[in-house]
Amino acid sequence: MYQNLLIEAYKKAQNYQQDQQIAVDLDIPKQRISDFRKGKRYMSDEQAIFLAEKTKIAPELALIGCHVDRSKSVISKEVWERMAKKFSKYGLQRFSMSYGAIVMGYGVFQQSINDYVLCMLC
């Protein structure tokens, strides 16, 4: 799940040891971070943007990734993934390393996003 990767990126960027520290920054109960990680809840757009900005990740990419996580239907997931591919194709060189760092190790998700982005840009 993308929001889990976003949380990990923020935790690393802030040199935090515990998820509770992230909860304090977001002004939410500490259990909420656990719920995000388990997929029981989804972070708001504002929370995703906050985490993205603090980790030098494009807020647009964070929002797209979180919306992919939230999507219940296959069709809506595909649309969000195509949007991510378009965003990636237009490149925005300064975001490419952040994108790679976030999606690294998330093999299938990364490949599908890249494929969809390329299709959308074509």
When computed from its CA atoms, the radius of gyration of the chain, rounded to whole angstroms, is 14
Higher per-residue pLDDT: 86 or 97: 86
- Expressed in angstroms, the distance from the first to the final Cα of the chain is 27
Cβ–Cβ contacts within 10 Å for residue 102, how many? 23
Q: Enumerate the domain spans of the chain.
A: 2-93
Mean pLDDT of the chain: 79
- What does the block give as tokens for 76? 């809506």
pLDDT of residue 109: 55
pLDDT of residue 66: 85
Quick check: 112 pLDDT over 80? no
pLDDT of residue 121: 64
Q: Are the C-beta atoms of 62 and 16 separated by less than 8 Å?
A: no
- Confidence at 96, pLDDT banded by 50, 70, 90: very low
Quick check: 90 pLDDT over 50? yes
Nearest-5° angle of CA 12, CA 4, CA 56?
45
pLDDT of residue 93: 40
Evaluate whether the domain defined by 2-93 bears CATH number 1.20.1070: no
Cα dist from 113 to 13, 34, 64, whole Å: 24, 25, 10
pLDDT of residue 50: 95
Q: Tell me whether residue 32 is exposed, middle or buried, using C-beta atoms within 10 angstroms of its C-beta: 0 to 12, 13 to 18, 19 or more.
A: middle
For residue 90, give the 3-state DSSP assignment: coil
